[in-house]
Amino acid sequence: MSIAHLLHDFGQYHGSKAGAVMSDATLEEHQLEAFEQGYKAGWDDAAKAHAEDQQNVTSEFAKSLQDISFTYHEAYGHIMRGLQPLMAQISEKLLPDIARKSLALHITEQMTEMARGHSSSGMILCIAPSNRAVLEDMLVKKFTTPFTIEENDALAGGQIELKFGQAERRVDLDEVLAGISQAFDGFFDDLQKDTAHG
């Protein structure tokens, strides 16, 4: 038994046009055109893939920059929030102590500057009663021009009034310390607002 009945017979097919024969030049032209179309399609696919890759790289780069920026701002905010208690302690404890210790030096500088312009009369130093013992000992040792100390209950510990002839000068370290404290508070308030608003 033969299996010929199962297979298709191609022997009777002669093409759509009987007797149509393609010349070598036409065949070459068709092959060249097919090659050009394939080549162009390949370049188009490569250009499209390259553009997609560039777009992906650009978007990934932008995302990375956003992540870095967010991380920087997050870290900066965290560090500043961590520094806030330290700055509060500095402005409340350390700066007043430094101001008290440097008060005599600051007054000596002010008195020396005022004494250069006025040599005839003595200087009057108005201070808070709580500062008398500390300032009197230090100023007697450091300042040679005659001066008198007057206590004034209206003055706070960091306030001094210097009078030399007609010239008067006021030293207010309490005001300076309050300004520093307000600057710290303002800085951290602004930081909290910036953090809250991104």
pLDDT in tens, 159-176: 888 888 777 888 888 788
**Cα–Cα dist 139/160, whole Å:** 13
Instruction: Dig out the tokens for 114 from the structure.
Output: 């005022």
d(C-alpha 142, C-alpha 102), whole Å: 13
Exposure string for 136-171, b = 16+ CB within 10 A, e = fewer = eeebeeebeeebeeeeeeebebbbbbbbbeeeeeeb
pLDDT reported for residue 36: 92
pLDDT digit string, tens, across residues 31-82: 899 999 999 999 999 999 999 989 988 888 888 887 777 777 777 778 888 8
pTM of the model: 0.46
Long-range contacts of 82-91 (CB under 8 A, 24+ apart): 84/188, 87/184, 87/188, 88/184, 90/184, 91/177, 91/180, 91/181, 91/184
Instruction: Check pLDDT > 60 for residue 23.
Output: yes
Residue 68 to residues 11, 15, 47, 57, 62: CA-CA distances in angstroms? 73, 68, 31, 16, 10
In sequence order, what are the beta bridge partners of 124? 148, 163
Which tokens in the block code for residue 143? Answer: 């300042």
Domain limits, the chain = 62-196
Q: Which two tokens stand for residue 112?
A: 């020396």
**Which pLDDT belongs to residue 15?**
55
10 Å CB burial of residue 41 (0-12, 13-18, 19+) is exposed
Q: CA–CA separation, 114 vs 90, rounded Å?
A: 32
CATH architecture for the domain at 62-196: 2-Layer Sandwich (3.30)
pLDDT tens for each residue of 125-162: 888 888 787 777 777 777 777 778 888 888 887 788 88
